Amino acid sequence: MDRATSINHLPCIRADHINKSFGKKPVLFDINIEVPYSQILGLLGPSGSGKTTLVKLIAGIETATSGEIYLLGEKMPSLKMMSKVGYMAQSDALYGELTALENLQFFASMYELSKARQKQRIEEVMQLVELSGHLKKQVKQYSGGMKRRLSLAIALLHEPPVLILDEPTVGIDPVLRKSVWEELYKLRSNGTTILVTTHVMDEAEKCDNLGMIREGKLIAVGSPYELKKATSSNTIEDAFLFYGGARE
């Protein structure tokens, strides 16, 4: 099935009846969600609600206790799909002893980018995250916010069709946060499907659709407008409180 056909018939990401436990502790309960191609889905919920676990399952980093996940029509986890996903974890997976450039070159080689393409993409992504002047600096000398920005640059490096970002703008100043979201919109317009976790309400408003998660349960799914309208709320925060309270 070619991509055009798959866009018409299948979601880019599909999670069916996902349950996840760590030992005897259940953390996700019967999660069902779909993300169409070229859309931004936000997962909104407080810390500890299960957002990170869910995105790790979708990215193929963790395995569900039960249920099935499909990414680009392929059942996950799948090793061959790893190159099709840009993943930015909540904790920065960087090599502190290496420079930013060396980190970028390492990940670019993993994605088998040619030398010429590596050079071009490194320049582009570092310009986006405003770190071009810090390429030769060891990452251990970076501030926390700079490390977040470098992690985002690495996730974008190989122009993946699916981008999964776990709290990408934590520690990033408001001006840069705005430019990051402008870039996400450009990527979406060019066909990238984006999954982003957040607990920031104004970021939730920027997503095409939201999945609200509380205590491992998906309590509501819809566009920000739909969720506010259904709950007669003026804000996403009020809508979240409504749905959260309805579950108690």
Q: Confidence class of residue 247 from pLDDT cuts 50, 70 and 90?
A: very low
Q: Which fold has domain 3-246?
A: Rossmann fold (3.40.50)
What is the end-to-end Cα distance of the chain in Å, rounded? 44
Rounded Cα distance between 15 and 46, Å, is 21
Better-scored residue on pLDDT, 209 or 173: 209
- The predicted-structure confidence for 12-46, as pLDDT tens digits, reads as follows 999 999 999 999 999 999 999 999 999 999 999 99
| 207 to 29, 37, 70: CA distances (angstroms) | 24, 14, 21
- The predicted-structure confidence for 114-157, as pLDDT tens digits, reads as follows 999 999 999 999 998 999 999 999 999 999 889 989 999 999 99
Mean pLDDT value across residues 192-220: 94
Closest CA to 31 of 44, 17, 43, 50: 17
Mean pLDDT value across residues 176-204: 91
Closest CA to 33 of 47, 48, 51, 21: 51
Average pLDDT, the chain: 91
pLDDT at 8: 52
Whether 239 shows a pLDDT value over 60: the answer reads yes
pLDDT at 177: 86
Mean pLDDT value across residues 174-187: 89
Rounded Cα distance between 68 and 65, Å, is 9
DSSP code of residue 169? T
Rounded Cα distance between 146 and 29, Å, is 35
Q: Confidence class of residue 3 from pLDDT cuts 50, 70 and 90?
A: very low
Rounded Cα distance between 10 and 28, Å, is 24
Dump the DSSP string for 190-236.
Answer: TT-EEEEEE--HHHHTTSSEEEEEETTEEEEEE-HHHHHHHTT-SSH
Q: Where are the domains of the chain?
A: 3-246
Better-scored residue on pLDDT, 9 or 75: 75
pLDDT at 248: 41
SS3 sequence of 27-72? EEEEEEEEECCCCEEEEECCCCCCHHHHHHHHHCCCCCCEEEEEEC
- Single pTM value for the model: 0.89
pLDDT at 94: 92
CA 161 to the chain's CA centroid: 12
Q: Confidence class of residue 172 from pLDDT cuts 50, 70 and 90?
A: confident
Rounded Cα distance between 123 and 78, Å, is 30
pLDDT at 245: 72
Contact between 55 and 85 (Cβ < 8 Å): no
* Residue 78: exposure state from Cβ atoms within 10 A (0-12, 13-18, ≥19): middle
- The predicted-structure confidence for 47-63, as pLDDT tens digits, reads as follows 899 999 999 999 999 99
Mean pLDDT value across residues 150-177: 90
Rounded Cα distance between 241 and 193, Å, is 28
DSSP code of residue 96? T
pLDDT at 7: 47
Mean pLDDT value across residues 75-95: 89
